[in-house]
């Protein structure tokens, strides 16, 4: 990471003295202007924060025109103090350009380093690159060379339809396609300074460029030796143009750093995807069909994979077991613990499901013996749909919510500690009977925590969302679950990455 102070004061003579291990006075004497100023060569300065300072002069630095001959005593004469071509002025101008460029790179890499997700990082790379090369639009194609994905395309100043048009161009005719299809790992750019005037331009590419209104492009691979090739970035110009040598150098430095950052995010993204996939596979692929009750479930997994579960399993004599729960922690270990507990609970429910307290007591003993460092919350309900009778017990879990035409209320349950918190867990069970057409909603605490409200306000928000279910969807438990989820977690909070898993299980009794 670049670490450059916000304000830099450069003393040319002191810098030259320090570089050559001599006093300032000796340096002034040795480097006094002799002969023509343009014959002087600027010293080679050391690398700063890993960036080689031997780069072309800044684009904004223009060599001074030769002044008209003047008397030696004239202040404007070559070699006179303050003359435009004085060696000190040239060096200081060049140093000012380097400092400006390094400061810009520092700010851009700092902004990129603050991104924690791949999509945000790709958008940041496009914005920073566009600022460095002077373009207005662009796209980045993520296509890791190992073929493991994820493959995606992100645009800057391009709508989804525009990206679709670009993707209709044959791959070999596009800049990013040629970069991604290279067999070597060179970092050479693909430059088209005047795209529409090229004789060998693909007809479809010409048509798309004219339609979208770009006339030039500059493309760079997102590749390093360590990370391999991850993709390619392309910036588009509205008029024939190309970046100057200075701009190419700066954007090359930036993309090399960006590639390393993207490689780290790619590893995290793949780990998150695996955790989510494993967690989903450990949950029921589909809910059972049981006479007298309709079921629906909604599950949102956090980026690292969490330990929330739900289950519905048919039991003897037409009964039904419903359960939700949550294991402390996150990541692969929490997912594995969740899978073990859910599988054990299914076995206990088949053997003694009519007694929910016994089921949770057995689960608590198993947790204490096999997972001594963990705790868990759980709720198990034994349902008899034909009689519309439910007996449930909870261990540190939020109470179910009954949603009907004439009432919307929480079921009164006894307070109890989570599993694994006490030497011996036991709490009384609760029995209640839903009316025909009523829906019982059981859920995990992640639904409340994701809202960001204190728990009392989160419960009030949940109750208001359930009470506001439209009449037109009260016969559909899935629609009820969706309404509650989107109302309690508005503005995409239900889909946003969060450390909190969310589980809702809705059962509508006929």
pLDDT in tens, 302-317: 666 678 899 999 999 9
Question: Strand, coil or helix: what is 22?
Answer: coil
Quote the percentage of the chain above a pLDDT of 70.
Answer: 80
The burial class, CB within 10 Å (0-12 / 13-18 / 19+), for 103 is: middle
Do 291 and 407 belong to one domain?
Answer: yes
The single-letter DSSP state of residue 38 is G
Do 119 and 68 belong to one domain?
Answer: no
Q: How many domains does the chain have?
A: 3
Do 55 and 75 belong to one domain?
Answer: yes
Q: What is the mean pLDDT of residues 412-417?
A: 80
Measured from the Cβ of residue 352, the count of other Cβ atoms closer than 10 Å reads 15
Where on the phi/psi map is residue 183: left (φ > 0), alpha (ψ -120 to 50), or beta? alpha
Residue 105 lies in a domain: yes
| pLDDT tens profile 217-274 | 999 999 988 888 899 999 999 999 999 999 999 999 999 999 999 999 999 888 878 8
pLDDT beyond 50 at 175:
yes
The burial class, CB within 10 Å (0-12 / 13-18 / 19+), for 64 is: middle
Residue 375 lies in a domain: yes
Q: How confident is the model at residue 497 (pLDDT cuts 50, 70, 90)?
A: low
Give the up-direction half-sphere exposure of residue 409: CA atoms within 13 A in the CB hemisphere. Answer: 10
Do 146 and 222 belong to one domain?
Answer: yes
Most confident of 49-53, 154-158, 285-289, 306-310: 154-158
What range defines the domain where residue 216 resides? 115-269
Q: CA-CA distance, 156 to 480, in Å (whole number)?
A: 38
Where on the phi/psi map is residue 420: left (φ > 0), alpha (ψ -120 to 50), or beta? left
Q: Report phi then psi at 69, rounded to 5.
A: -55, 140
Do 41 and 27 belong to one domain?
Answer: yes
Residue 364 lies in a domain: yes
Most confident of 25-34, 75-84, 133-142: 133-142
pLDDT beyond 50 at 48:
no
Look up the CATH number of the domain holding residue 225.
Answer: 3.30.450.40
- Omega cis (within 30) before 150: yes
Q: What is the mean pLDDT of residues 358-372?
A: 89
What local confidence, expressed as pLDDT, does residue 430 receive? 92
Q: CA-CA distance, 303 to 297, in Å (whole number)?
A: 20
- Of the candidates 395, 385, 392, the residue with the CA atom closest to the CA atom of residue 411: 392
| Of the residues 85, 109, 133, the one at which a domain ends | 109
Look up the CATH number of the domain holding residue 310.
Answer: 3.60.40.10
Most confident of 83-87, 195-199, 330-334, 417-421: 195-199
Do 245 and 331 belong to one domain?
Answer: no
Q: How confident is the model at residue 14 (pLDDT cuts 50, 70, 90)?
A: very low
Contact indicator for 234, 140 with CB cutoff of 8 Å = yes
Do 454 and 310 belong to one domain?
Answer: yes
Quote the percentage of the chain above a pLDDT of 90.
Answer: 54
Residue 137 lies in a domain: yes
Give the up-direction half-sphere exposure of residue 387: CA atoms within 13 A in the CB hemisphere. Answer: 12
What local confidence, expressed as pLDDT, does residue 25 receive? 36
What local confidence, expressed as pLDDT, does residue 463 receive? 95
User: SS3 string of 217-283?
Assistant: EEEEEEEECCCEEEEEEEEEECCCCCCCHHHHHHHHHHHHHHHHHHHHHHHHHHHHHHHHHHHHHHC
Of the two residues 420 and 247, the one the predictor is more confident about is: 247
| Of the residues 109, 131, 163, the one at which a domain ends | 109
Of the two residues 439 and 412, the one the predictor is more confident about is: 439
| Of the residues 235, 269, 303, the one at which a domain ends | 269
What local confidence, expressed as pLDDT, does residue 278 receive? 78
Greatest Cα pair distance, the chain, in angstroms, is 114
What local confidence, expressed as pLDDT, does residue 63 receive? 40
- pLDDT averaged over every residue in the chain: 81
Do 190 and 93 belong to one domain?
Answer: no
- Of the candidates 162, 141, 221, the residue with the CA atom closest to the CA atom of residue 187: 221
Q: How confident is the model at residue 106 (pLDDT cuts 50, 70, 90)?
A: very high
Residues whose CB is less than 8 angstroms from the CB of residue 141 and which lie 6 or more positions away in sequence, other chains included: 152, 153, 176, 180, 231, 232, 233, 234
Residues whose CB is less than 8 angstroms from the CB of residue 169 and which lie 6 or more positions away in sequence, other chains included: 202, 204, 205, 208
What local confidence, expressed as pLDDT, does residue 305 receive? 63
What local confidence, expressed as pLDDT, does residue 499 receive? 66
Residue 2 lies in a domain: no
User: SS3 string of 300-362?
Assistant: ECCCCCEEEEEEEEEEHHHEEEEEEEEEEEECHHHHHHHHHHHHHHHHHHHHHCCCHHHHHHH
User: For the chain, what percentages of helix, strand and coil (3-state, to nearest 5) are there?
Assistant: 40, 20, 40
Do 436 and 496 belong to one domain?
Answer: yes
Residue 204 lies in a domain: yes
Do 233 and 293 belong to one domain?
Answer: no
Do 137 and 241 belong to one domain?
Answer: yes
Contact indicator for 4, 106 with CB cutoff of 8 Å = yes
Question: Strand, coil or helix: what is 403?
Answer: strand
First to last CA, the chain: 63
Residue 254 lies in a domain: yes
Q: CA-CA distance, 42 to 47, in Å (whole number)?
A: 15
The burial class, CB within 10 Å (0-12 / 13-18 / 19+), for 292 is: middle
| CA 502 to chain CA centroid, nearest Å | 19
Residue 82 lies in a domain: yes
Q: CA-CA distance, 343 to 259, in Å (whole number)?
A: 42
Q: CA-CA distance, 252 to 257, in Å (whole number)?
A: 9
pLDDT beyond 50 at 99:
yes
pTM of the predicted model, to two decimals? 0.62
Of the two residues 7 and 127, the one the predictor is more confident about is: 127
pLDDT beyond 60 at 70:
no
Do 223 and 325 belong to one domain?
Answer: no
């Amino acid at each position: 990471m670049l670490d450059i102070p916000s304000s830099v004061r450069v003393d040319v003579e002191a810098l030259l003295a320090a570089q050559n291990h001599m006093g300032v006075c000796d340096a002034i004497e040795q480097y006094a202007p002799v002969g023509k100023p343009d014959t002087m060569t600027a010293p080679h300065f050391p690398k700063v924060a890993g960036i080689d300072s031997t780069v072309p002069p800044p684009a904004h630095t223009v060599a001074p025109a030769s002044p008209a001959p003047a008397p030696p005593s004239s202040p404007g004469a070559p070699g006179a103090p303050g003359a435009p071509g004085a060696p000190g002025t040239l060096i200081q101008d060049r140093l000012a350009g380097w400092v400006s460029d390094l400061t810009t790179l520092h700010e851009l890499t700092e902004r990129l380093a603050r991104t924690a997700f791949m999509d945000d990082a790709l958008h940041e790379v496009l914005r920073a690159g566009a600022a460095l090369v002077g373009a207005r639009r662009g796209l980045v194609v993520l296509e890791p060379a190992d073929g493991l994905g994820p493959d995606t395309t992100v645009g800057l100043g391009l709508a989804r339809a525009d990206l679709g048009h670009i993707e209709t161009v044959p791959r070999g005719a596009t800049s990013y396609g040629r970069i991604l299809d290279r067999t070597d790992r060179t970092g050479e750019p693909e430059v088209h300074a005047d795209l529409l005037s090229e004789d060998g331009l693909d007809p479809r590419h010409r048509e798309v460029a004219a339609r979208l209104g770009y006339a030039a492009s500059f493309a760079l691979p997102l590749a390093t030796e360590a990370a391999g090739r991850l993709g390619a970035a392309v910036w588009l110009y509205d008029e024939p143009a190309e970046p100057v040598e200075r701009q190419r150098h700066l954007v090359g430095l930036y993309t090399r750093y960006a590639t390393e950052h993207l490689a780290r995010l790619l590893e995290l993204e793949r780990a998150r995807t695996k955790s989510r996939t494993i967690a989903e596979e450990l949950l029921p692929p589909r809910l059972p069909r049981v006479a007298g009750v309709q079921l629906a479930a909604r599950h949102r997994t956090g980026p690292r994979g969490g330990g929330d579960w739900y289950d519905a399993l048919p039991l003897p004599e037409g009964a039904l077991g419903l359960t939700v729960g949550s294991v402390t922690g996150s990541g692969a270990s929490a997912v594995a613990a969740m899978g073990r507990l859910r599988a054990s609970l299914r076995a206990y429910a088949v053997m003694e499901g009519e007694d929910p307290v016994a089921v949770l007591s057995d689960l608590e003993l198993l947790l204490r013996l096999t997972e001594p460092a963990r705790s868990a919350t759980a709720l198990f309900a034994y349902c008899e749909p034909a009689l519309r009778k439910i007996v449930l017990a909870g261990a540190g879990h939020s109470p179910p919510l009954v949603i009907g035409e004439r009432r919307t209320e929480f079921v009164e349950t006894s307070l109890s500690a989570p599993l694994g918190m006490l030497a011996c867990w036991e709490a009384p069970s609760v029995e209640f009977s839903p009316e025909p057409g009523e829906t019982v909603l059981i859920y995990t605490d992640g639904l409340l925590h994701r809202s960001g409200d204190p728990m009392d306000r989160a419960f009030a928000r949940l109750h208001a969302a359930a009470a506001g279910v439209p009449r037109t969807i009260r016969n559909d438990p899935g629609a009820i679950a969706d309404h509650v989820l989107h109302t309690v977690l508005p503005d995409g909070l239900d889909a946003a990455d969060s450390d909190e898993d969310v589980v809702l299980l809705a059962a509508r009794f006929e």
